[in-house]
Structure 1
């Protein structure tokens, strides 16, 4: 992917620091813990913590999922009934082991540090935002003029608040969303899509062969799922073996795709725009000029529109058009499927303005940026526009 030829060449090129809403105190019901990690996803680090420190995963609170290919700092809450202290872990010979320290610029691992105590359990979204320091490499001469021009657009008008590629981790091939199978009651198709996307596989149904082929690259819960199929579980019961936060990602991925389409169509209907490549051959459209920025700045776009019906007539038509295109049925809204409620409604801001946006360093081939974004906004979405890649 072209964007990643410019960023994330090394973990130190992409540094993320969570801006917490909680302040540690001297007493409280929960430990307030800083998790610093490199080359590890938040969920993987949490699974290791749960397994090695004997803390049930549901007892560990966290506010957001941070990038794997980065050096990140975020915060956790753990009930004081469990034992936790400063610890570091590294992946050595494919096994997680406790170590004295981690070289975050070169090694795959994470460290925990207890900062104090808090009264509140952290849940998703419980943060002020995220602070980024990003180094762009291969910053060629022909890119600079475009970069500085687009930087002025962002300073004046912000940028479209699209969901970034991290939101689509469960999409293995173009338009192949696990949730679309679930909504039709096709759990076998959902599992096939989960493991293979739209790729054809001639041994689907031969669960022992599937296990033998895939197991080296699978998470433990994915192995449990296939073992369940080997024992004769139905596809629906096997699907429920997946942790709920994984199952919910299928819903988030599809709804986020639809929401991105609403915003893209809205921008193209109202403003001068440029299309920029995204994942799976999708496109994102970025405005280059806005004549009603005070209005756009306040605009919120619903996920489905069945509970939060838009007043904006253009937006209302676009939501209807996109839902018709992807054959969305009203009976799917708030549907219970696979042990979760899906296609729920909500509101998300159409645009976001980065704060503290500045250039820290620049050379002939690199530029280092610093900025902060509110919860749920993506640095990679901003960078795609600035670099047009």
Structure 2
């Protein structure tokens, strides 16, 4: 299956609009900015704003990471001491520069626009939801029939609230988890995984050659990390050169994988299900029928169960099984590693329902649809089921 052969054939086929919680006012301690981007990740846009506008990255607040290969609109906050005007940015002669405008129908780039002021910064999850407008292409007859049949399941029972592939693509490699090395205290392995995943590399340890080989594609902080190794820093000290939000992504990615495994095993244990292809040859399992829908709608699954105790005996057994399978030790919960606290607890809803689901346009070969999902839920997870993995 070719990833995104049905959706995201063009960035403008996948439009995401943040539904904000904060309302702009005339006065406040923070500027509220609208960020519109095409074919750029949220973190990349923030790093460019930080560098070109001389604003520390830690002072830029945002509610969530939006898809790269899409046209997305979201909101940022920065303290009022920074003066910002409406600005656009794109790559010119291999460098990011300010420009007068970006053509969001065909150009890679982004624009920011001040829309007012607020009295607090935005934080992760600080939004009502996300509205999606998606064009499905190559929408042949048998796929169309499957789509309507699967949507009836979603309408009645919702869909499993798995983390989508974006959660695992925010670090260098999707085929390995940096956190697994960190938990064992193997910072050298963690750095190797960060740069190369599971790929074999014969010049690891030759930091000058590593720098020369990778430098053209590296962020500045990644260059600083390798320069630190060249100066003789230990892998642990060099690892701490990575920005905190990047280091936290390693934790989020692995915990999201484990949480997906909890939910997948739970669905397979309790309900008739179908397995759908996911990234890295992983699978996601979707229920086809639910006999205790009122219970499932209320079910929240913890990340570790240390703070939020599990009363569901089936779920409790599954979490122990998954932790055992991946060698997770309780002593790692809430552990400080590399300047971050890892394996923290929290709750996430097992199922969600799309709101405002509508088919806007139909042809023999395509369909345009719209829907809204709550914060932290993934349109691609819904679409994988509706299209049985053929996205």
Normalising by structure 2, report the TM-score.
Answer: 0.98
CA-CA distance at 1:91 after TM superposition: 1.0
* Separation in structure 1 between the aligned mates of residue 201 and residue 268 of structure 2, nearest angstrom: 39
SS at match of 1:89: strand
**Conserved? CA contact 1:258–1:322, under 8 Å:** yes
* Separation in structure 2 between the aligned mates of residue 336 and residue 74 of structure 1, nearest angstrom: 32
CA-CA distance at 1:3 after TM superposition: 4.0
CA-CA distance at 1:220 after TM superposition: 1.2
- Which residue of 1 is the match for residue 249 of structure 2? 249
- Which residue of 2 is the match for residue 192 of structure 1? 192
* Separation in structure 1 between the aligned mates of residue 261 and residue 349 of structure 2, nearest angstrom: 14
**Conserved? CA contact 1:89–1:110, under 8 Å:** yes
**Conserved? CA contact 1:171–1:253, under 8 Å:** no
CA-CA distance at 1:11 after TM superposition: 1.2
Runs of 4+ in 1 over 3 A off after TM superposition: none
> In the comparison of the two structures, how many residue pairs are matched?
388
* Separation in structure 1 between the aligned mates of residue 16 and residue 235 of structure 2, nearest angstrom: 39
- Which residue of 2 is the match for residue 9 of structure 1? 9
2:113 paired with 1:113: yes
- Which residue of 2 is the match for residue 102 of structure 1? 102
**Conserved? CA contact 2:172–2:196, under 8 Å:** no
CA-CA distance at 1:2 after TM superposition: 2.9
Please, what is the CA RMSD of the aligned residues? 0.9
- Which residue of 2 is the match for residue 49 of structure 1? 49
**1:136-151 alignment runs, 5 A limit:** 136-151=136-151
* Separation in structure 2 between the aligned mates of residue 298 and residue 28 of structure 1, nearest angstrom: 37
* Separation in structure 1 between the aligned mates of residue 218 and residue 136 of structure 2, nearest angstrom: 32
CA-CA distance at 1:171 after TM superposition: 6.6
CA-CA distance at 1:338 after TM superposition: 0.3
* Separation in structure 2 between the aligned mates of residue 302 and residue 112 of structure 1, nearest angstrom: 36
SS at match of 2:4: helix
Structure 2: give runs of 5+ residues left out of the alignment: none
- Which residue of 1 is the match for residue 382 of structure 2? 382
Cα deviations by residue, 1:298-329 (Å, 9 ceiling, x for unpaired):
00000011221211110000001111111111
CA-CA distance at 1:22 after TM superposition: 0.5
* Separation in structure 2 between the aligned mates of residue 167 and residue 108 of structure 1, nearest angstrom: 22
CA-CA distance at 1:40 after TM superposition: 0.6
CA-CA distance at 1:194 after TM superposition: 0.6
- Which residue of 2 is the match for residue 371 of structure 1? 371
* Separation in structure 2 between the aligned mates of residue 3 and residue 153 of structure 1, nearest angstrom: 24
- Which residue of 1 is the match for residue 237 of structure 2? 237
* Separation in structure 1 between the aligned mates of residue 13 and residue 146 of structure 2, nearest angstrom: 21
**Conserved? CA contact 1:62–1:76, under 8 Å:** yes
**Conserved? CA contact 1:10–1:105, under 8 Å:** no
- Which residue of 2 is the match for residue 346 of structure 1? 346
**1:166-315 alignment runs, 5 A limit:** 166-169=166-169, 170=171, 172=173, 174=175, 176-315=176-315
Q: 1:21 to 1:173 in 2, by over 3 A?
A: closer
* Separation in structure 1 between the aligned mates of residue 65 and residue 311 of structure 2, nearest angstrom: 32
SS at match of 1:5: coil
CA-CA distance at 1:173 after TM superposition: 5.0
88-97 vs 187-196, which deviates more?
88-97
2:129 paired with 1:135: no
Cα deviations by residue, 1:258-282 (Å, 9 ceiling, x for unpaired):
0000000000000000000000000
SS at match of 1:142: helix
Q: 1:3 to 1:384 in 2, by over 3 A?
A: farther
* Separation in structure 2 between the aligned mates of residue 221 and residue 143 of structure 1, nearest angstrom: 45
Cα deviations by residue, 1:11-38 (Å, 9 ceiling, x for unpaired):
1100000000011011111111100010
Cα deviations by residue, 1:209-251 (Å, 9 ceiling, x for unpaired):
0111111111111111111101110000000000000000110
Normalising by structure 1, report the TM-score.
Answer: 0.98
SS at match of 1:2: coil
* Separation in structure 2 between the aligned mates of residue 60 and residue 254 of structure 1, nearest angstrom: 25
